[in-house]
Amino acid sequence: MLWKALFASLLSLAAVPALADECKVTVDSTDQMTFDQKQIEVSKSCKTFEVTLTHSGNLPVNVMGHNWVLTKTADMREVASDGMSAGADKGYLKPEDTRVIAHTRMIGAGEKDSITFDASTLDPAGQYTFFCSFPGHIAMMQGTLKIVD
């Protein structure tokens, strides 16, 4: 009987980190205008989801800055276009743009930033895209975010 209780305790401890890992991800960005993730899957069980963006390159934010922006796929291009008009001091995002679901700040070499957002509001049938809004980066720096079982 004791071994069953011990096994159950160990099993519950092993499940905690796995569940935490499902509700957060680290995405690395580089001087070659790439994200190391092209697709992110978020479990429907996640109430919130955390994205940590890192920059493993050597160039400063004003030359090769990156951010991580999440929108509905249909809104991505217009959000990026409006962001270019907003300029560098606004992180290439229109202030208080309701089409932006979540975003990190713009970072340069060696920096990181995290954002936590309410994943429970995302539609499992919806199409979501993440991208970098630094001018010109969207062509290479984008991926999909999907809600999964």
Bridge partners, residue 25, by sequence: 51
Tell me if 77 sits within 8 A of 65, measured CB to CB: no
d(CA 55, CA 76): 22
Q: Please write the tens of the pLDDT for every residue from 24-75.
A: 999 999 999 999 999 999 999 999 999 999 999 999 999 999 999 999 999 9
pTM, two decimal places: 0.85
Residue that the structure tokens 């990181």 belong to:
112
Show the CA angle centred on residue 53, arms to residues 52 and 57, nearest 5°: 145
Question: How many Å is the Cα radius of gyration of the chain?
Answer: 18
Q: What is the pLDDT of residues 82-123, one digit of tens each?
A: 999 999 999 999 999 999 999 999 999 999 999 999 999 999
Measuring CA to CA, which residue among 115, 99, 97, 117 is closest to residue 107? Answer: 115
